[in-house]
Structure 1
């Protein structure tokens, strides 16, 4: 492996619009396209090949590859086009690498087939907006689209704290400061504390990973800032449970009250294939903070939230995952089989027949 070969592989992946490239010893590179992992016809990789790739990635990030490294997240950019989010790790003693393709341009809500109500959600003067879902289901892309919408429409100071930086923003109406954990700051928590001294209007935290970061995000929301972040949760109910569950039992009652006051919305995502199998599109649950939902959070009645989401469809443009799946099935965009694959409901077909 040499740098020319590596960049050629990445350029091909970028041109073919694959979502991920896998480099593992004793296998050729794998490409993920339309959700399927495809084995390339390239030669199998040796330990020296994956070590070379890892070293080049670290070099671009102005770091050496430690001998005792176990896992590391970074970014990588081609000279003329293409950025990648990189996960490096050891497996069976060798280095493995997965590179996620970052689209060159940040799509708007319409391009990404996201609900138009997101343009209303980002107008909130302060509070906490969470984008949730499993890995690889569009959280980062959705979050970038929301930040870019603000950037294009409003004159704010926006600070992002990411590990690593994925989408590169150009300041438009807003001023955008992007800080990368490990390069520009030691961690999310110290960066959040520093951000509050940087005259912010909007703060974007790439991921809420621990109690300190969650608490800092809540505090920033309480002090008049609009905070965006992500969680690996399935829906609004599991998101609220996850946040509260990070705190000690004797603090959870107070956290429920705080969350009820500052939570603006949760946007939960899953990607599905259309009937052609050639395209993927998002299925989105939207929960907005109404007085009824605030009461559910305060009183711990989280099992009632989905029902209130569905009832708030017309007035607040909220929607449950099942409502969106049913709408896509009715329009003939996705199959019932695909809808059932991502739905947590046991009676999705019955719901479809009754709507």
Structure 2
């Protein structure tokens, strides 16, 4: 019996071919790194494109630069970093181009076609009520790649379909492209339409908005302006890279001098209406699922915040399930009980592994008692 020789690895340098492969494999991300073949991420795991040769630094740079316009190349040359987005064969991508030790590299993220519905994203009706607020600060938080932008897009589209509002988004870069429905939406991109989040937000307040989306609150000035927007009667939505509601509040407060802490606690008690913190976990049957902590500003949470007892807020969330609230650990425990995710995966993201185990043990004891 003759042995068939393995096919030789092919060199894949055309960005069109690379992104086509990404879409074909239903990958969420693709990495172009000098010295490696294109690397895909599927269901959270990385794998190298099979039978593809490593990219030389020159090929890698050429592939990446082929999608950039002159303005983007000039910005990258000046800073060594670039965020951008673009459309390719009916699929939108977000890209971050950067310089590393061997040359130019890039990370591409697939943006879901269209804007997913709350039902598709598993967003509860209680969370969607945040989009019905006329004023206040709504924060969607979580690690990179947890779907914060997608959740915000679903909230904005909910408003767009139901309310006659003027919505202004400030993004870096623009990912989901909205079509005006009941609302009128202006989308602005940092670096193209404005110099920074803070500058755009400062002038947005003069543009007669009802709803403002700030892609990310990266610094004290942006946080201060977002709070001011919420104080002056606007609904302001934004993101932070925090894992739960208490750490989100602490993150905001930590941006300001210590002598302003009590004042800020009082202000947040007035303007913060909700925090949704989310993580993506692998499902046992393949794919990924989003677990969300949900905090609304009720009287108990507001009192704790005004009294600077942020560390006790988790307890208030745990006991407010009847209002649609839940901690991240409670959300994780539910998925484990439903056999959607494994206990091992849930423990990776648990804020208190001990508390997560106690929820599961209590549930097991209750089921055992019912069988007697």
Instruction: Give the TM bin, normalised by the shorter chain.
Output: over 0.9
Matches within 5 A, 1:77-156: 77-78=87-88, 80-156=89-165
* Superposed displacement of residue 2, structure 1: 11
* Superposed displacement of residue 101, structure 1: 0.7
**Aligned counterpart for 1:231 among listed residues 240, 244, 248:** 240
- Tell me whether 54-63 or 86-95 shows the greater mean CA deviation: 54-63
- Taking structure 1 as reference, are residues 82 and 311 closer, same or farther at Cα in structure 2, changes over 3 Å only? same
Q: Which residue pairs with 1:313 in the alignment?
A: 321
Mapped to 1, the partners of 2:247 and 2:359 lie a distance apart of 22
What is the SS of the residue equivalent to 2:123? coil
* Superposed displacement of residue 252, structure 1: 1.9
8 Å Cα contact 1:19/1:32 also seen in 2: yes
Q: Which residue pairs with 1:339 in the alignment?
A: 346
Structure with greater Cα Rg:
2
Mapped to 1, the partners of 2:282 and 2:99 lie a distance apart of 32
Q: Which residue pairs with 1:292 in the alignment?
A: 300
- Taking structure 1 as reference, are residues 185 and 19 closer, same or farther at Cα in structure 2, changes over 3 Å only? same
**Aligned counterpart for 2:215 among listed residues 172, 185, 206:** 206
TM-score, reference length from structure 2: 0.91
RMSD of aligned Cα (Å): 1.8
Q: Which residue pairs with 2:58 in the alignment?
A: 48
Which ranges of structure 1 fall in alignment gaps of 5 or more residues?
Answer: none
TM-score, reference length from structure 1: 0.95
What is the SS of the residue equivalent to 2:224? helix
8 Å Cα contact 2:276/2:293 also seen in 1: yes
What is the SS of the residue equivalent to 1:152? helix
Q: Which residue pairs with 1:173 in the alignment?
A: 182
What is the SS of the residue equivalent to 1:352? helix
Question: Matched residue pairs, number?
Answer: 352
Q: Which residue pairs with 1:352 in the alignment?
A: 360
8 Å Cα contact 1:109/1:115 also seen in 2: yes
8 Å Cα contact 2:167/2:211 also seen in 1: yes
* Superposed displacement of residue 56, structure 1: 2.4
Mapped to 1, the partners of 2:67 and 2:220 lie a distance apart of 30
What is the SS of the residue equivalent to 2:261? helix
8 Å Cα contact 1:73/1:88 also seen in 2: yes
Which ranges of structure 2 fall in alignment gaps of 5 or more residues?
Answer: 1-9, 364-372
